[in-house]
Structure 1
């Protein structure tokens, strides 16, 4: 029996989050993370690209956090993904698990300071506030492809810049950039279930042929970045 296409509902754009505040050298930083750990959302660094695996539920949590980053010019969005149970098919190319931090460019946070801030917010006595993040459905762009010349135009604003520190990938950009990334992730979670019900699983490459990439090749060559590839995988941990 084929799986449904899992259309979005209003609940898909709501998420329980934990809000924390850490201070470095007299400056306070606001950090938002999912209130419960991801179990079926993982990020790995292969030699020349980043690979994110998501099931429908956690993929939509990640997409919602991308939309939250677009609306949070004063916050860091932290996804602790190194401790997620290992996704199926990992290990054939020396992949290493990575955490992910989403930072609106207005935050102006230096990634080199992340390890120190992470230690402070992860301390056992660090205060935490539980909240519900709710994103308007209009924030999620319609799923259509841009012409590569439009994507590379400086005014288009869809590029997420990359930096790596302390086993963490930082993606930094503006509102449009994070909304475009969320569009790709939600598309994978929508198209993935029916394809997984009928297609062959391909370990190590484009599971069920349901995947998206954040960058076109011109972006990578120009900036010296690694591709960010998102693949659908049915729930692998409970």
Structure 2
């Protein structure tokens, strides 16, 4: 899996941080806060990209992974569109500093990384692996229209596997004549935070919803 990225270095106070973004944000990817859930809607390409970025977050503990998503606009009234930032807990970056740091990011420098794609595993059938301890869960914060997910390398690898499952299973589900409902996975964040509901959404189906005025089912 090749990821085409831009790398940015900027300072916040006395500290310098590295921020990595996709060179081109996905065309069909949205993230919303609807007060009950955090909902992501991804097509195949976007789910593959997200899986790659989560894999990168697992191996880059000194880097903030930023995925700009808010340009997609709102889906239904009351939806709050969000960007996404992934960061390792050891970085100890305060989300309150993000708006200032984001404003200081320049055009960045291009970089391509080659990653081994995560493979969907048996634990993707549930909301989280049965061996994941309660203490090893994602922490989440929303600040400056951005969802911050802070976690460990194993958590990011498991999340990458779930996203990979959406990329592979979503299109197959859509091609099944007897399919029922949508294809989704949930990334569990424990009892103190809301889960991240990730739904496969084919671009053709999405256009039909916009024409009819119906939100995702």
The interval holding the TM-score normalised by the smaller chain is 0.7 to 0.9
Deviation by residue 1:186-238 (Cα, 9 ceiling, x = unmatched): 10111111221235898xxxxx431000117xx22xx2x11210000112589
Matched, 1:134 2:114: yes
Stretches of 4+ aligned residues off by more than 6 angstroms: none
Work out whether residues 141 and 179 of structure 1, in 8 Å CA contact, stay in contact via their aligned partners in 2. no
The Cα of 1:136 is off from its aligned counterpart by 2.4
Instruction: Provide the residue aligned with 2:102 in structure 1.
Output: 118
Among 157, 174, 177, the residue aligned to 2:152: 174
CA gap of 1:200–1:25, structure 2 versus 1, over 3 A, is farther
1:64 aligns to what SS in structure 2? Answer: helix
Work out whether residues 14 and 134 of structure 1, in 8 Å CA contact, stay in contact via their aligned partners in 2. yes
Work out whether residues 3 and 114 of structure 2, in 8 Å CA contact, stay in contact via their aligned partners in 1. yes
Instruction: Provide the residue aligned with 1:228 in structure 2.
Output: 196
Matched, 1:190 2:171: no
Instruction: Provide the residue aligned with 2:215 in structure 1.
Output: none
The Cα of 1:144 is off from its aligned counterpart by 1.2
Instruction: Provide the residue aligned with 2:143 in structure 1.
Output: 165
Q: What is the rounded CA distance, in whole Å, between the counterparts of 2:173 and 2:130 in structure 1?
A: 30
Matched, 1:150 2:118: no
In structure 1, stretches of 5+ residues that fail to align are 1-12, 203-207
Work out whether residues 9 and 16 of structure 2, in 8 Å CA contact, stay in contact via their aligned partners in 1. yes
Q: What is the rounded CA distance, in whole Å, between the counterparts of 2:73 and 2:169 in structure 1?
A: 23
Normalising by structure 2, report the TM-score: 0.85
In structure 2, stretches of 5+ residues that fail to align are 208-217
2:48 aligns to what SS in structure 1? Answer: helix
Work out whether residues 120 and 164 of structure 2, in 8 Å CA contact, stay in contact via their aligned partners in 1. no
Normalising by structure 1, report the TM-score: 0.78
Matched, 1:213 2:163: no
Q: What is the rounded CA distance, in whole Å, between the counterparts of 1:179 and 1:101 in structure 2?
A: 16
